[in-house]
């Protein structure tokens, strides 16, 4: 009897491990695919000059309204193929919104190099956080509330700086964003590894936002400290 119980527990553990591995594999796969419409959206934005034509305040309002609408719709449809299509449309939209910053950085003589450096730095952060998530055995679920508070503070301060136009505050927010979303990346990947997130569409959305914000922060920081206008 005891052997049968142990066999049942072992089977359950194996099934859970297989499910976690499947969710993680699907998440990484969809995340990789989502980068394609992001790059396409950024290319369209830079080529057409759509984002450059909008003022900073208008772009911020459009970004917030569009992003929250997409995220709400994705979460509502995450258990169907519609959720995947909406996620890919969302990543195109995010690329379009990113094109304003990309266009500004590409205006530097070393702009292409800065973009590639930001991409490489983001990839390094992702692989570091993904590796840490499999090594750290401690439960990181308590991080979520603190990180969310930090993200809300960043959002409010960022909106305020649209009117304040403070260079010092902007630089502070960029550095803080880089740290907070790197930690968010670890937190979100660890949730999938530990089985806390079982839907790969939701998992991809969370990790994509982390990657997006880390890249955006790195690119903005590199543009400020390393942009060559000569």
What's the CA angle centered on 184, arms 63 and 98, to 5 degrees? 25
Distance from C-alpha of 177 to C-alpha of 113, rounded to nearest angstrom: 22
Report the interhelical angle of 81-106 vs 111-135 (nearest 10°): 140
Average pLDDT over residues 117-124: 96
CB within 8 A of 194, min separation 6: which ones?
20, 139
DSSP state of 141: T
Checking if the pLDDT of 51 tops 80, the result is no
| Structure confidence at residue 55 (pLDDT) | 60
The two tokens of residue 97 are 């919104």
Both structure tokens of 65: 């309204």
**Coil, helix or strand for 200?**
helix
User: H-helix or E-strand containing 196?
Assistant: none
Task: Say what the pLDDT of residue 15 is.
Answer: 60
pLDDT band at 11; cut points 50, 70, 90: very low
pLDDT at residue 4 greater than cutoff 70? no
- Residues 6 or more apart whose CB falls under 8 angstroms from that of 121 comprise 218
Task: Find the range with the poorest average confidence among 49-58, 137-146, 203-212.
Answer: 49-58
Residues 207-216: pLDDT tens digits? 999 999 999 9
Average pLDDT across the chain, whole number: 88
Confidence band (pLDDT; 50, 70, 90) for 57?
A: low
Which is more confidently placed, 176 or 159? 176
Per the structure, the complete domain to which residue 190 belongs is given by: 2-226
pLDDT band for position 5 (50/70/90)? very low
Higher pLDDT, 230 or 38: 38
Contact in structure between 187 and 129 (CB atoms under 8 Å): no
**Structural domains of the chain, count:** 1
pLDDT, residue 137, reads: 84
Residues 225, 69: Cα–Cα separation, whole Å: 34
Nearest one of 180, 207, 197, 183 to 87, comparing CA atoms: 207
| 77/72 Cα distance (integer angstroms) | 9
pLDDT the model gives residue 10: 47
pLDDT at res. 171 = 93
């Amino acid at each position: 009897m005891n052997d049968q119980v142990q066999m049942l527990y072992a089977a359950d553990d194996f099934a859970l491990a297989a499910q976690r591995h499947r969710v993680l594999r699907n998440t990484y796969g969809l995340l990789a695919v989502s980068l394609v419409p992001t790059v396409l959206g950024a290319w369209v934005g830079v080529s057409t000059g759509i984002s450059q034509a909008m003022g900073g305040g208008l772009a911020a309002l459009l970004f917030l309204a569009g992003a929250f609408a997409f995220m709400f719709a994705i979460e509502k449809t995450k258990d169907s193929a519609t959720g995947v299509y909406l996620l890919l449309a969302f990543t195109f939209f995010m690329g379009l919104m990113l094109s304003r910053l990309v266009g500004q950085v590409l205006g530097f003589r070393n702009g292409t190099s800065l973009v590639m450096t930001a991409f490489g730095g983001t990839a390094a952060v992702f692989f570091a956080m993904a590796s840490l998530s499999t090594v750290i055995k401690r439960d990181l679920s308590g991080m979520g509330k603190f990180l969310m508070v930090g993200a809300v503070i960043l959002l409010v301060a960022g909106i305020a700086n649209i009117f304040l136009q403070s260079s010092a505050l902007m630089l502070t927010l960029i550095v803080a964003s880089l740290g907070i979303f790197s930690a968010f990346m670890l937190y979100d990947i660890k949730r999938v590894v530990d089985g806390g997130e079982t839907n790969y569409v939701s998992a991809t959305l969370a990790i994509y936002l982390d990657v997006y914000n880390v890249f955006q922060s790195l690119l903005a920081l590199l543009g400020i400290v390393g942009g060559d206008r000569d």
